[in-house]
Amino acid sequence: MERNDRDLFRQPDQPLEARIDDLVSRLTLEEKVSQMVFASSAIGRLGIFEYNWWNEALHGVARAGVATVFPQAIGMAAAFNRQLMHEVASAIATEGRAKYNAARRHEDRGIYKGLTFWSPNINIFRDPRWGRGQETYGEDPYLTGRLGVEFIKGLQGDDPQYLKAAACAKHYAVHSGPELKRHEFNAKVSPKDLRETYLPAFRDAVKEAKVEAVMGAYNRVNGEPACASRELLIRILREEWGFEGHVVSDCGAILDIYENHKVVETPAQAAALAVNNGCDLNCGWVFEHLVEAVKLGLVSEETIDQAVRRLFRARFKLGMFDPENMVPFNQIPYEVNDCAEHRKLARQMARESIVLLKNQNRLLPLDKNKIKTIAVIGPNADSRDVLIGNYFGTASKYVPLLEGIQQAVNEGTRVYYAQGCDLRTTKVSSWGRKPTSGFAEALTAAELADVVIMAMGISPKLEGEQGASADSDGGGDRLSLDLPGMQEELLKAIHALGKPIVLVLFNGSPLTINWAHEHIPAIIEAWYPGQEGGNAIADVIFGDYNPSGRLPVTFVKSMDQLPAFEDYSMENRTYRYMKDAPLYPFGYGLSYTTFEYADLTLDQSKVDAESDFTVKVSVSVTNTGELSGAEVVQLYVKDQEASVRVPNWELRGFEKITLRPGESKRVEFTLPRRHLALIDNDGRCVLEPGKFTIYVGGRQPDARSAELTGSQVLQAELTVTGNQVELEY
């Protein structure tokens, strides 16, 4: 492959835009188009290697061999820890660079070997049936935005010249099921819901985190294909938010434009429509028809040039056209993959992701010195599937719950194991095996035990992306939120023995465990906790770590509480608009210690809407229990006099702090006027004069959280005076 380092685009001391222009000017139309599909071609005469844009890093480098497998995204969200999220993303980027460096040395430039990671997924988890909700940071736009920003910054690094890796915010926008209809579905959304719920995290990713890429969604949004939407990709993304990176289609989404959405009739028309409306890169092959589209006058070569410039800009920022020794990340060694430091980080993230849902009579933590026998029972007790979620890499070692318990107990403690049942079977098999055939062994193990740990829930085989969950009846989505199969029957049978039971749930989305909540004394939400999951859960069960996770998504009591899946209105959805009491609320989670809040203070109680004010909110938090622990301090805002429908209250701040017994800490939040503004029915961001309530505590200010925790939330009143002001979105 020829290479001339005297070419201007090869000269790192020249301005970046001049280098990009020089490179693009040397290309033929056919060569330009060859760069606009995910498997971009080599251009031998210029010494440019082929590059495959497709890589994944949702919770670790995926599909590319050995890499640290961190907890699934929904679990990392439950940690409510911005700094830890940043550290995890940085570790993922380090491993990604190490893999890229090793692959290049062996001339492997294939799929999943590049530096453009199509992560994070910052869609709103608006409906618990959605199979891909596990990939998200939950149901709240503020939480999703804060964690998304940290993940993107961690992945892209802070070098002033080069990206460590390129992040991609997906799937833009208004995308959260149904999976079976995603290639043809038209998501109808009001201007208010669009701006209030579905866009904020993407805005934060672009304007604050400077994300390099945005991926369009499969579906249409108000009639426009998301990957060819002038409203989304040009008016909002580029003109309003000033996005300077590149847009990539979801895989096969350009094909959908003519084949399923039937907006146009031919591949050339679909390709031209997408590129004219701001899509630069095709995960797929339809963009190969762009040469034909130019000849037919459907798209100009100048528009092609603009897209190609954006794509090469990303590769320049990744250091692909500079001398090896100039790029600081080129020397990262392969040995960092799944190293001891990263495994420790995975264990810490798994610990912080765990949510204690119930702890009647303080059954937990268990005292391992007083326990001689433990029964570990359930279909998820010894499962690798439930550690990894979807979009995963390959860990060098996995620790299921059973192994974690075995390693944690004292040497003389006997651990019995029985599967009891599988995840979903309810019928007698063709050879006469009953779905309850494992109950006898499970009951025997439980009878012999001092305490029983039940490992139940679902798995990525029962929820996920369309086609990825082979055992899902909903194409990846869930048709029921109950424990599937004979799991509840097994739980009831074990409960009837009268033994103390700890129920550990593995899942990427909410479960309706109403019976368990009423009857089982201790319940732990573990999500899909990553390669160190078993160790992390054991740490919590035996008190080596005090649980501090909080739910990033509401657990409803019944699917009867949900609107139609296809309805994208936020009416009666998520904690922000739900009318009924849930089983477990957003922001909820228990601890082995107790925290007391006092002295909630606003530095000003009256502000003028027309002044660019910032209100400082502070509160004292004290650990009033006997154990050290971390508390997630949460701030919510309620507009008491809004002229339009507004949320019940909205999360507008959170801080995770660790306190020793008796220790106090003053926590301060900054509340800008943007966080008091509402989105009106026309989609405008407006600050109205009126009264606002500021709530601060370890939970949201709802009655169900109060009932479950017995804790108080402090509140203060803030008055906004003056005239209504329209703010920048």
For 25-74, write each residue's pLDDT tens digit: 999 999 999 999 999 999 999 999 999 999 999 999 999 999 999 999 99
pLDDT at 30: 98
The CATH number linked to 434 is: 3.40.50.1700
pLDDT at 704: 98
Q: Which residue(s) pair with 282 in the sheet?
A: 37
- The conformational region for residue 418 under phi > 0 = left, psi -120 to 50 = alpha, else beta, is beta
666 and 644, same structural domain? Answer: yes
pLDDT at 468: 84
Pick the catalytic residue from 463, 465, 477, 655: 463
**Cα–Cα distance, 330 to 165 (Å, whole number):** 12
Q: What is the pTM of this model?
A: 0.98
pLDDT surpassing 80 at residue 472: no
Position 55, amino acid? N
Question: Contact at 8 Å (CB) between 162 and 100?
Answer: no
pLDDT surpassing 80 at residue 471: no
Q: What is the pLDDT of residues 293-335, one digit of tens each?
A: 999 999 999 999 999 999 999 999 999 999 999 999 999 999 9
**Cα–Cα distance, 52 to 92 (Å, whole number):** 19
CA angle 206-160-53, nearest 5°?
Answer: 55
**Cα–Cα distance, 135 to 329 (Å, whole number):** 28
Residue 526 included in any domain: yes
Provide the token pair at 132. Answer: 């891909």
600 and 645, same structural domain? Answer: yes
Provide the token pair at 242. Answer: 């000033």
- Of 597, 599, 603, the C-alpha closest to 616 is 603
Mean pLDDT of 204-210: 98
β-pairing, 224-225 vs 213-216, is unpaired
Question: Contact at 8 Å (CB) between 253 and 226?
Answer: yes
Q: What is the pLDDT of residues 349-397, one digit of tens each?
A: 999 999 999 999 999 999 999 999 999 999 999 999 999 999 999 999 9
Q: Which residue(s) pair with 679 in the sheet?
A: 685
pLDDT at 693: 98
- Of 452, 423, 422, 447, the C-alpha closest to 437 is 422
Question: Contact at 8 Å (CB) between 502 and 541?
Answer: yes
Residue 562 included in any domain: no
Tell me the three state secondary structure of residue 576: helix
The CATH number linked to 619 is: 2.60.40.10
pLDDT surpassing 90 at residue 473: no
139 and 111, same structural domain? Answer: yes
222 and 80, same structural domain? Answer: yes
pLDDT at 354: 98
- Of 369, 387, 351, the C-alpha closest to 460 is 387
Mean pLDDT of 1-20: 90
pLDDT at 205: 98
- Residue 430 banded pLDDT, cuts 50, 70, 90: confident
Residue 337 included in any domain: no
Last residue of a domain, one of 553, 569, 586: 553
Question: What is the distance of C-alpha 458 from the center of its chain?
Answer: 18
Note down the domain range covering 535: 343-553
74 and 38, same structural domain? Answer: yes
Q: What is the pLDDT of residues 595-605, one digit of tens each?
A: 999 999 999 99
* Cα-Cα end-to-end distance for the chain: 49
Question: Contact at 8 Å (CB) between 81 and 352?
Answer: yes
The CATH number linked to 303 is: 3.20.20.300
356 and 279, same structural domain? Answer: no
**Cα–Cα distance, 550 to 588 (Å, whole number):** 5
pLDDT surpassing 90 at residue 6: no
382 and 316, same structural domain? Answer: no
207 and 152, same structural domain? Answer: yes
Last residue of a domain, one of 497, 530, 553: 553
Q: What is the pLDDT of residues 479-494, one digit of tens each?
A: 999 999 999 999 999 9
Pick the catalytic residue from 139, 212, 250, 525: 250
Mean pLDDT of 198-215: 98
Residue 471 included in any domain: yes
pLDDT surpassing 80 at residue 470: no
Element (H, E) at 555: none
**Cα–Cα distance, 134 to 125 (Å, whole number):** 8
369 and 439, same structural domain? Answer: yes
Position 402, amino acid? L
Q: Which residues of 479-561 form beta strands (DSSP E)? A: 501-506, 522-525
pLDDT at 3: 75
pLDDT at 5: 75
424 and 309, same structural domain? Answer: no
Residue 568 included in any domain: no
pLDDT at 145: 98
Q: Which residue(s) pair with 51 in the sheet?
A: 40
Q: What is the pLDDT of residues 513-531, one digit of tens each?
A: 999 999 999 999 999 999 9
Which is it for the CA torsion 98, 101, 103, 105, positive or negative? negative
Provide the token pair at 628. Answer: 């050290």
pLDDT at 474: 85
pLDDT at 506: 98
293 and 381, same structural domain? Answer: no
Q: What is the pLDDT of residues 554-588, one digit of tens each?
A: 999 999 999 999 999 999 999 999 999 999 999 99
**Annotation says 250 is catalytic:** yes
**Annotation says 463 is catalytic:** yes
Last residue of a domain, one of 330, 357, 375: 330
Residue 524 included in any domain: yes
pLDDT at 4: 79
Q: Give the count of domains, the chain.
A: 3
Residue 3 included in any domain: no
**Rounded percentage of the chain residues whose pLDDT exceeds 70:** 100
Q: What is the pLDDT of residues 76-123, one digit of tens each?
A: 999 999 999 999 999 999 999 999 999 999 999 999 999 999 999 999
Residue 581 included in any domain: no
CA angle 484-488-493, nearest 5°?
Answer: 150
Tell me the three state secondary structure of residue 568: coil
pLDDT at 429: 84
Mean pLDDT of 223-241: 98
366 and 303, same structural domain? Answer: no
User: pLDDT averaged over the chain?
Assistant: 97
